[in-house]
């Protein structure tokens, strides 16, 4: 057998170009392009001044994002990968930041990481992958970086805090007096009888004795949280997390992450994180955050959510926003799954509503007038009360009102906003729309949990965990964009240039019509390029003069190759003043969006 010859001791005359080793269609190039377009102005101001130079944030951000794709979230493994993995080495720009630097970056820089996520949404818009007219909201429970054994009740926290206070007060006493005071037996702290988790508390006390100052500060924070947020339990490892029921039915210290998916490309366009164990209160904060980030209105938008979000407050919010909500209540959910039970003929659900006249219609066809609005003081739930005087002569009075004499007429308690939502599920069109939620609204959380393997946060605290939510949202969106580019066919690198170097169908040429002595009317053409529609970058060395009859499409072809290869940091950022119209003397089939750019005349 003949083997392929190898040269393990061969020394390279010239260093290897890592781009030649990495496949041309590797997703790392897309990561690089996206991260390079993020605005780092705030970070530049933050690190400006004396001291040792720091790593550029784009380097750390590229390393972390590629780690999410490769299911590497450990910062020590990321540090190791920058020296062993050629893709990480390329993204790290031949630098090797240590794990502590990567961990501190991931924990902080909240605004920067969020801008990177929003950048992917903007790219998806450029690729015509988004449709904000239909949105799907669903929640995903992600385990916190904290153990359940570190969760203590209000009574246990008070006992530990009392122990710390006594320890400081009695530091000058003898061991014998302390033993008597704390009733120690065989070296162990005596735990009050009403506290059941004695072993856990004894272990915590021994841990606290190693650093009582730190323990006191920790107990004070826990006590403040219990008092401020009216919670029964606090986890001392991650106080922002809460005990939440997971999908498998077990309880874990976790966070509730909300993901908002649009309909067309299934892109994550919004997210939110909280410690709420249920989804019913998460609609308004998530949608308000989405409105601020994307600067959009919810008027006329169709929103699809599961029955965990169903509540009167949610219905009120969407009614005020002018949105069309598809959120089934418990009864509608059973109907959708074919498990609906027969209800009494005169149940409130069988009473129809005339929304224009604000009247209810009983199963016998009698119209019931609106009487009052009734609100539950404890829950805040409200219903409209409808009544009719036709009950006295109705043959179904006994069946409808009951035997008791005080029920002389029937009152129907109906919330009109909830009824509007329920009626949408009565139509075939409404059911078909909602059924798409199962494979559109839930695809993101399935991909994040199973493909990216993101089931547990690495950071602690709600703000650092929000960074991780934005990181895996960014990774998910980049995969969608990457697959979209591959569908277009051709070389991925060239396709990426057409996105980030927005040439065709965007800000093309700066046209300046001006007279030139001795040569008649001329057209000065300044090539320029726009990144994601944010800034226009003209080549300040490329001001050329052409005859007026020169075809703009021909000029477009001449400069296309130049822009694709000469894009670098030497490009001059121009300031957009105002839109300018094409000269009437120029006729071309292309549609150009022209902006006035301040440039010196040549």
| CATH number among 3.30.420, 3.10.20, 3.30.70, 3.30.43, domain 135-139+254-336+436-467 | 3.30.420
Show the beta-strand stretches assigned E in 289-401: 302-304, 324-326, 352-354, 359-361, 367-375, 382-387
Q: Measure the CA–CA gap between 162 and 154, rounded to whole angstroms.
A: 12
Backbone angles phi, psi at 283, to 5 degrees: -65, -55
Structure confidence at residue 168 (pLDDT): 54
Per DSSP, 396 falls in state: T
Q: Measure the CA–CA gap between 32 and 358, rounded to whole angstroms.
A: 58
Structure confidence at residue 514 (pLDDT): 38
Structure confidence at residue 236 (pLDDT): 83
Q: Which residues of the chain have pLDDT under 50?
A: 172, 174, 184-187, 502-602
Q: What angle do CA 474, 478, 480 make, to 5 degrees?
A: 120
Task: Give the number of other CB atoms < 10 A from CB of residue 558.
Answer: 14
Q: Measure the CA–CA gap between 573 and 576, rounded to whole angstroms.
A: 10
Q: Would you kindly state where each structural domain of the chain is located, as residue ranges?
A: 18-129+469-481, 135-139+254-336+436-467, 148-235, 348-416, 501-597
Structure confidence at residue 586 (pLDDT): 33
Q: Find, among 117, 13, 97, the residue nearest to 55 by Cα.
A: 97
Structure confidence at residue 349 (pLDDT): 78
Q: Find, among 497, 496, 468, the residue nearest to 482 by Cα.
A: 496
Structure confidence at residue 426 (pLDDT): 86
Say how many CA atoms lie within 13 Å of 423 toward its Cβ: 13
Q: Find, among 520, 517, 524, 529, the residue nearest to 545 by Cα.
A: 524
Structure confidence at residue 127 (pLDDT): 86
Q: Measure the CA–CA gap between 317 and 323, rounded to whole angstroms.
A: 9
Interstrand relation of 242-245 and 251-262 (parallel, antiparallel or unpaired):
antiparallel
Alpha carbon 325 to its chain centroid, in Å, reads: 20
Structure confidence at residue 410 (pLDDT): 78
Q: Measure the CA–CA gap between 343 and 339, rounded to whole angstroms.
A: 12
Q: Find, among 132, 166, 158, 550, the residue nearest to 302 by Cα.
A: 132
Task: Give the number of other CB atoms < 10 A from CB of residue 7.
Answer: 6
Both tokens of 501, joined, read 């170097």
Structure confidence at residue 552 (pLDDT): 42
Structure confidence at residue 198 (pLDDT): 56
Please give the model's pTM, rounded to 2 decimal places: 0.75
Both tokens of 139, joined, read 């929640």
- Encode burial over 163-179: b for 16+ CB neighbours within 10 A, e otherwise: bbeebeeeeeeeeeeee
Structure confidence at residue 68 (pLDDT): 93
- Encode burial over 339-367: b for 16+ CB neighbours within 10 A, e otherwise: eeeeeeebebeebbbeeeeeebbbeeeee
What digits encode the pLDDT tens for the residues 517-527? Answer: 444 433 333 34
Q: Find, among 352, 335, 349, 350, the residue nearest to 431 by Cα.
A: 335
């Amino acid at each position: 057998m003949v083997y392929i010859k190898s040269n393990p001791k061969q020394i390279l005359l010239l260093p290897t170009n890592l781009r030649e080793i990495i496949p041309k269609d590797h997703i790392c190039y897309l990561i690089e392009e996206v991260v390079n377009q993020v605005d780092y102005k705030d970070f530049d101001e933050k690190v400006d001044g004396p001291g040792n130079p720091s790593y550029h944030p784009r380097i750390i951000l590229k390393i972390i994002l590629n780690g999410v794709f490769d299911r590497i979230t450990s910062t020590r493994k990321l540090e190791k990968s920058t020296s062993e993995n050629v893709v990480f080495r390329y993204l790290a720009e031949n630098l090797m930041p240590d794990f502590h630097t990567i961990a501190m970056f991931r924990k902080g820089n909240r605004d920067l990481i969020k801008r990177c996520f929003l950048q992917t949404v903007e790219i998806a818009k450029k690729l015509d992958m988004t449709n904000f007219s239909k949105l799907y909201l669903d929640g995903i429970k992600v385990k916190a970086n904290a153990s359940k054994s570190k969760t203590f009740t209000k009574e246990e926290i008070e006992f530990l805090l009392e122990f710390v206070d006594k320890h400081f007060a009695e530091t000058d006493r003898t061991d014998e007096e302390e033993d008597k005071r704390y009733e120690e037996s065989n070296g162990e702290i005596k735990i009050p009888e009403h506290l059941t988790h004695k072993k856990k508390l004894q272990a915590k006390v021994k841990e606290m004795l190693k650093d009582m100052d730190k323990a006191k500060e920790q107990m004070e924070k826990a006590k403040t949280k219990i008092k401020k947020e009216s919670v029964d339990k606090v986890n001392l490892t991650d106080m922002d997390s809460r005990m939440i029921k997971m999908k498998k039915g077990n309880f874990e210290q976790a966070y509730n992450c909300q993901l908002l998916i649009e309909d067309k490309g299934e892109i994550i366009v919004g997210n939110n994180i909280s410690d709420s164990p249920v989804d019913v209160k998460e609609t308004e904060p998530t949608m308000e955050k989405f409105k601020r980030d994307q600067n959009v209105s919810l008027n006329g938008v169709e929103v699809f959510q599961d029955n965990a979000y169903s509540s009167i407050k949610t219905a009120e919010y969407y009614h005020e926003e002018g949105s069309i909500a598809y959120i089934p209540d418990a009864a509608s959910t059973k109907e959708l799954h074919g498990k609906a039970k027969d209800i009494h003929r005169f149940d409130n659900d069988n009473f129809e509503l005339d929304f224009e006249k604000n009247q209810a219609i009983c199963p016998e066809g009698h119209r019931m007038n609106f009487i009052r609005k009734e609100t539950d003081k404890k829950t805040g739930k409200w219903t409209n009360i409808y009544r009719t005087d036709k009950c006295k002569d109705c043959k179904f009075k006994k069946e409808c009102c009951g035997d008791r004499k005080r029920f002389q007429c029937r009152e129907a308690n109906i919330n009109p906003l909830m009824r509007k939502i329920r009626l949408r599920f009565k139509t075939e069109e409404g059911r078909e729309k909602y059924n798409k939620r199962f494979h559109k609204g839930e695809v993101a959380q399935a991909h994040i949990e199973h493909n990216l393997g993101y089931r547990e946060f690495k950071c602690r605290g709600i703000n650092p965990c929000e960074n991780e939510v934005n990181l895996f949202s960014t990774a998910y969106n980049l995969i969608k964009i990457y697959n979209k580019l591959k569908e277009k066919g051709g070389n991925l690198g060239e396709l990426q240039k057409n996105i980030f170097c927005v040439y065709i169908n965007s800000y093309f040429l700066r046209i300046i019509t001006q007279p030139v002595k001795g040569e008649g009317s001329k057209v000065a053409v300044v090539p320029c390029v726009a990144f994601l529609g944010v800034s226009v970058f003209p080549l300040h060395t490329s001001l050329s003069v052409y005859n007026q009859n020169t075809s703009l499409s021909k000029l477009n072809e001449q400069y296309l190759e130049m822009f694709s290869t000469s894009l670098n940091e030497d490009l001059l950022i121009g300031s957009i003043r105002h839109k300018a119209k094409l000269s009437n003397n120029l006729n071309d089939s292309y549609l150009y969006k022209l902006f006035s750019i301040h440039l010196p005349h040549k």
